[in-house]
Structure 1
Amino acid sequence: MQVPFRKMHGLGNDFVVIDAREMPVAMTTRRAGALADRRTGIGCDQLIVLEPSDVADVRMRIFNNDGGEVEACGNASRAVGLLLGGTQAIETLGGLIRSEVTGEGVAVDMGRPRFDWQAIPLAYAMDTLAMPVGWEELDQPTAVNVGNPHAIFFVPDADAVDLARLGPVIETDPLFPERVNVNVASVVGPDHLKLRVWERGAGLTRACGTGACATAVGAMRRRLTGRKVRVDLPGGPLTIEWTADDTILMTGPATTSFTGVFEDADYPA
């Protein structure tokens, strides 16, 4: 049996999207990891499976390229919003989100951020605004859950941090029982941030939508910026607004690269 897929990306953060709403597709850690492999599979940062939902227009399942299923992915949410068109309610493991195709790209309401230590989650109680912990030159991060967990370090120069080395160390630290996405950010101005992300289960990425949301909110909580900012990632910019309703609105582009099919039997579940 041939399974259709669509290759998409948001600022270079790329996805294989499988629409399984009418033709169910079994997805496991093994299969997701094999499809995501850039040498022997299709290749992607995340694999996305769309399924029917009882509470929204569609259910979006998200698998990192290590095969692990995760709660949220902002860039993938924009890609799915573009694919479906119009205004959509999307069910994820991290909660219900909404997307809308606009003249500026795709806007996604990512819901309300959470800050209490149990919601991140952390291994033990502490203030998440400026955590009293550190790893070499990276210290006192702020922690935010935007459907998935993020630790954000504000540094003078985000490009100077050896994130390829420190990212996996922090991601897997026992302080984070569900692991964590690691963000290093520099404040360019009151409405402008520069960001690099080590993504949990995926590694260094050209863009991370949830990372941009978490970092923007972290900067706003620390009063480093206003309530609407541009976040520059290696793949390009996103606009993040922490609205008066306490929800995070992310706006940015999404693109279809190509479509194709794979043989179901070539990737055993």
Structure 2
Amino acid sequence: MSFSFQKMHANGDDFVVVDLRGQANKINQNIAKRLGDRNRGIGFNQLAVMSDCDDAAVRLTFWNPDGSMLDACGSATRGVAWKLLRETGSSSVIVRTNRGLLNCSLETDGLISVDMGEPFLHWRDVPIAQEVDTLVLPLPGTPTACSMGNPHCTFFVEDLEAVDVEALGPEIESHPLFPQKTNVHFVQVLSPTRIRLRIWERGGGIPLGSGSCSCGAAVNGIRRGLLDDSVEVECDGGTVTVRWDGTGSVFLTGPVEPNFSGVWFEGPSRNS
């Protein structure tokens, strides 16, 4: 079995796009995990699979490099939108994910914007394992939680450089409070319109950036009254803009760039 792929990144947040329009979806947990292996596969923070859809340009499904699935990926959604907009010459396109129909558009400066949908704020929807106020979780550091189709837990800190993300991230990711695990953010507020963000990504480790995590961190900061409704989110790999009026959809805007394309030939796995 073989299929074509395209490797892309958004401020260093790398992802792979597999276009299976007109074909059966061949991707399963084992293949996604093998593709995600940075030593024996292609390597990515997320995999986006494009397939046929009746009510949108494509349907997208997302995979983590550990073979788990996720419902939202802002970076890869922007990358697929970039690909579709170049194909059609249009300035907007609608894609379907498990979050529903998402409108994507090309901005005049060449950046890609995605309507990421409304955040989920109730404890059952994040989900949290017990009834809590998601604005102030019962954990040391009193983080805030929300969901953008995947769970997010945000800590607001005075000095981001003093945080050991590699040590604290996996501990919070797998905390019993989060039955589906969680993305973990550490945020230093630089001003009401700018934050510095470092991430421990559920199923992935420390990325240079993340679209959905940028959205979750900004939403949680706005809910805490720390941020205005338009926020520049500075990650290790670069900056995106997140807008949220406190009630409606979250809008994510940022760059995407192609890296390379190729063909994956699926052979027998030594570990399968």
Q: Normalized against structure 2, the TM-score is what? A: 0.93
Q: Letter of the aligned partner of 1:133 in structure 2?
A: L
- Say whether the 8 Å CA contact 1:99–1:107 is kept in structure 2: yes
Of residues 107, 112, 118, the one that matches 1:112 is 118
The C-alpha deviation readout for 1:73-125, integer Å capped at 9, x for no partner, is: 11111111111113122211233322112123000000111111001000000
Tell me how far 1:131 sits from its aligned partner: 1.3
- C-alpha separation between the residues in 2 aligned to 1:152 and 1:176? 13
Q: Which amino acid aligns with 1:44?
A: F
2:3–2:265 CA contact under 8 A, matched in 1: yes
Contact 1:94 1:148 in 2 (8 A): no
Contact 1:110/1:248, CA 8 A, preserved across alignment:
yes
Once residues 266 and 73 of structure 1 are traced to their aligned partners in structure 2, the CA distance between those partners, rounded to angstroms, is: 29
Instruction: State how far apart, in whole Å, the 1-side matches of 2:126 and 2:25 are.
Output: 31
User: Among residues 166, 170, 174, which one is paired with 2:168 in the alignment?
Assistant: 166
For residue 207 of structure 1, give the secondary structure of its aligned residue in structure 2. Answer: coil
- How many matched pairs? 265
Shift of 1:160: 1.7
CA distance in 2, matches of 1:92, 1:45: 18
In 2, distance between residues paired with 1:245 and 1:164?
Answer: 33
Between structures 1 and 2, the one with greater strand share:
1
- Worse-matched range after superposition: 100-109 or 242-251: 242-251
Structure 1 unaligned residues grouped into runs of 5+:
none
What is the CA deviation profile of residues 157-206 of structure 1, one whole-angstrom value per residue up to 9, with x for unaligned ones? 22221111111111111110011000000000111100011000011010
Deviation per residue, 1:225-245 (Å, 9 max, x gap): 111010100010001110476
Q: Distance in 1 between matches of 2:268 and 2:99?
A: 31
- Matching residue of 2:37: 37
1:81 aligns with 2:81: yes
Q: Check 1:267–1:56 CA distance in 2 against 1; reply closer, same or farther (3 A cut).
A: farther
| 2:147 maps to 1:145 | yes
Distance in 2 separating the partners of 1:240 and 1:25: 32
Return 5+ residue gaps in structure 2 as ranges: 86-90
Residue pairs, 1:85-100, within 5 angstroms: 85=85, 86-100=91-105
Instruction: Give the whole-Å Cα distance in 2 for the aligned partners of 1:160 and 1:250.
Output: 28
2:220 partner amino acid: G
Instruction: Give the ranges of 4+ consecutive aligned residues of structure 1 lying more than 3 Å apart after TM superposition.
Output: 264-269
TM score, norm. by length of structure 1: 0.94
* Native 8 Å contact 1:159 1:196 kept in 2: no
Q: Secondary structure at the match of 1:177?
A: coil
Is 2:23 aligned against 1:23? yes
Percent identity over the alignment is: 39
Whole-angstrom CA distance in 2 between matches of 1:195 and 1:244: 20
Give the Cα separation in 1 of the matches to 2:264 and 2:78: 24
RMSD between aligned alpha carbons? 1.6
